[in-house]
Amino acid sequence: MRDRDQIGRPRNARPRDAYGRPLPHGATGIPTMPDDLTMPPAKALEEAQRLLDADRPFHAHEVLEAVWKASPEPERELWRGLAQVAVGITHLRRGNTRGAEALLSRAADRLVPYETETPHSIDVKGVVQRVRELAVHPENGPVTLRLTI
């Protein structure tokens, strides 16, 4: 059962490991992002990149998801796709290649419409290319990914 706050909303109260797997209550884990995280796109990209570079894709996903949920409609699918990329990499790290392939393929498809105009200096073409490569050949790690140009 998932932890909930006082009004019943799900919250991530359990500690987590570097790949976002829940640990037992009381265990020492890697700090997660606050549930009410808000960040402007440039700062979120910088933080997500820092987390990806530190091999913390689950936490990068949390940052990208926060922007996705706060984005204006024209950009929502872009941020959703980037969040899915981070989750796909999380699945790779956890050894779930089948789940990773599905998420990475879906993320690439979601990002393609943004290839012609690159909002926030996001390297959409480069991300799509690398993500498609990982989806087909997950063994071609380590997972390196640059989000911006």
Q: Which of 14-18, 22-26, 74-78 has the highest mean pLDDT?
A: 74-78
Residue type, 97: T
Has residue 72 been placed in a domain?
yes
Residue type, 5: D
> Mean of the per-residue pLDDT values for the chain?
87
The interaxial angle of helices 41-53 and 73-93, nearest 10 deg, is: 10
Query: Number of folded domains in the chain?
Result: 1
| pLDDT on residue 28 | 85
Has residue 50 been placed in a domain?
yes
Q: What is the rounded CA–CA span in Å between residue 119 and residue 83? A: 16
Whole-Å CA distances, 128 to 3, 4, 24, 34, 110: 35, 36, 36, 28, 9
| pLDDT on residue 34 | 61
Task: Give the whole-number percent of the chain exceeding pLDDT 90.
Answer: 59
Whole-Å CA distances, 63 to 26, 43, 50, 78, 133: 24, 10, 11, 14, 24
| DSSP per-residue string spanning 114-141 | GSSS-GGGB-HHHHHHHHHHHHH-TTS-
Contact 68, 44 (CB under 8 A): no
The model's pLDDT over 35-60, given as tens digits with 9 standing for 90+, comes to 667 889 999 999 999 999 999 999 99
Has residue 11 been placed in a domain?
no
**Domain coverage including residue 66:** 41-136
Has residue 36 been placed in a domain?
no
Has residue 9 been placed in a domain?
no
Q: What is the CATH number of the domain that holds 121?
A: 1.10.3450.10
Between 141 and 52, the more confident residue is 52
pTM of the model: 0.83
Has residue 126 been placed in a domain?
yes
Between 100 and 25, the more confident residue is 100
Q: What is the rounded CA–CA span in Å between residue 135 and residue 106? A: 10
